[in-house]
Chain A
Amino acid sequence: MQNRAMSFIFPKWTNTLPLKVAVGAVLVANAAGAGVWYYLTPKYTRVGYTPKQPIAFSHAIHSDQLGIDCRYCHSAVEKSWFSNIPASSTCMNCHSLVLKDDPKLALVRESYQTGKPIPWVQVHKVPDYVYFNHSVHVNRGISCVHCHGQINHMDEVQHAKPLSMGFCLDCHRAPEEKIRPVDLVTQLDWQGAVNGKQLVHDWNVKPGQSCSTCHR
């Protein structure tokens, strides 16, 4: 009798409880894992970042419609690690004639006259412990489009690529997939075929994969 009474201490529904707890734990763990995988990556945190700029500058108009080369404004990109934001005098090369009294360009004119910088918001930024060099990439046939996306079709600059460490390494491990003739580097729409292996060989391209290539 004593033994029978003991067997009724746990009601019947508890029979499936361990299974339910296990299923629940698996679901929660998977959801948490999927959340970390999907969200805690620059593919989520950086891609799509479109800050509001002080002036509604459109790359689509300047680059695509008017056919101005990237280097007209970003004139230091071939010589410097840093691709410069143009001085307001560069804007005024044309805008002293075109839209010269337009209120949308008031900040440009003010900056040109007073020397006060235009407070552009930086879109693409790698952490300060990464030493990326623009000139070495554009002088060896890596196009703007590979890291910046099709800026030439953007009215507002949007962060298009993750620029994560994995993103860099993908290309450093297989540069022949991205390399192109140097004179096509600023042709962001170019889709032609090229013998990448040949260019990598001819230009002696050896993108480093050791830590100190980018972290110093």
Chain B
Amino acid sequence: MRYFLTLFILAVVGAVTVLGFRGDKSRKPPRMAEIFPDLNIQPKLRPQTVTKFGGFADGASSRPFPSGTIAQSIGFNNNTAWEETPLNTGRDAKGFVEVNPVPVTADLLKRGQERFNIYCQPCHGAQGDAAGGIVKKLGASTVANLQDQRIVRMNDGELFNTISNGKSTMMGYAGQVPVSDRWAIVAYVRALQLSRLGFKDDVPAPVLEKLK
């Protein structure tokens, strides 16, 4: 019995030493005993993965756009085909459209605020005054101050165009921000600018009373 107990304890300690504990950091991919591994890893394409069967020559499952093409459903709201309209380009025959073609509502501004804080705030700052984390902590000093007179005087269409295609050191955000959200951001940038350009008389009396 003594031998058995010694062996037993050694076996348990040995197993725990080799296998470790739950949550231990491991570099190796998780494995479970798999009786039918093809159920777990099926011969089908999943996004952004390497595929080992058939498929494409480079092994990648996701296809890049062929150069010079535009996806069919990438217009306004992501549910219309992209056409060269002022809504999708921010330009008309005369140049950049002057006023946001999307009706500005409280919902649009709210959406714009949310999207601005995701995609623009890291550099341009929550107030649009070029005081985002990237600028303050990493010193990306070419970031534009959206409160500048130059930008306040821009047409809405030019702001839209800058978001879509970028300008100087800023890259385009067409891939991350769909058309409808870009107009929402334009509307919100205008609201941010107004917050610093408004006069006391612009504030409704009851709100002004509260601020005193």
Q: Judging by beta carbons under 8 Å apart, are B40 and A127 in contact? A: yes
In the bound complex, how far is the Cα of B118 from the Cα of A96, in angstroms?
Answer: 19
Interface stretch of the complex, out of B46-54, B88-96, B97-105: B46-54
**6 additional contacts, CB 8 Å, given A49-B28, A127-B41, A158-B25?**
A49-B30, A66-B137, A75-B176, A75-B177, A82-B47, A89-B175
In the bound complex, how far is the Cα of B176 from the Cα of A69, in angstroms?
Answer: 13
B198 contacts chain A at the CB level, 8 A cutoff? no
Q: Judging by beta carbons under 8 Å apart, are B48 and A97 in contact? A: no
In the bound complex, how far is the Cα of B27 from the Cα of A48, in angstroms?
Answer: 9
User: B59 to chain A: closest CB distance in Å?
Assistant: 9
Q: How many residues of A contact B (CB 8 A)?
A: 51
* B-to-A contact residues, CB < 8 Å: 1, 4, 8, 11-12, 15, 19, 22-33, 39-42, 44, 46-50, 60, 64, 78, 114, 117-119, 121-123, 133-134, 137-138, 140, 142, 169-171, 173, 175-177
> Known: A69-B117, A98-B134, A128-B44. Contact between A49 and B176, CB under 8 A?
no
Contacts of B134 in A (CB 8 A): 66, 94, 98
Contacts of A43 in B (CB 8 A): 22-23
A159 contacts chain B at the CB level, 8 A cutoff? yes
Q: Judging by beta carbons under 8 Å apart, are A72 and B47 in contact? A: no
Q: Judging by beta carbons under 8 Å apart, are A71 and B118 in contact? A: yes
Contacts of B24 in A (CB 8 A): 48
CB closest residue in chain A, given B1: A20
In the bound complex, how far is the Cα of B32 from the Cα of A38, in angstroms?
Answer: 13
In the bound complex, how far is the Cα of B175 from the Cα of A90, in angstroms?
Answer: 8
Contacts of B32 in A (CB 8 A): 40, 42, 45
Set B1, B11, B25, B171: member contacting A92, Cβ < 8 A: B171
* A-to-B contact residues, CB < 8 Å: 20, 24, 27-28, 31, 35, 38-40, 42-52, 65-69, 71-72, 75, 79, 82, 84-85, 87, 89-90, 92-94, 96-98, 115, 117, 119, 122, 127-129, 158-159, 183
In the bound complex, how far is the Cα of B22 from the Cα of A49, in angstroms?
Answer: 11
CB closest residue in chain B, given A186: B118
Q: What are 20 contact pairs spanning A and B, CB under 8 A?
A: A35-B15, A43-B23, A48-B25, A50-B25, A51-B27, A67-B121, A67-B133, A68-B133, A72-B119, A75-B176, A82-B46, A84-B48, A89-B171, A89-B175, A94-B122, A94-B140, A96-B169, A98-B138, A119-B50, A127-B41
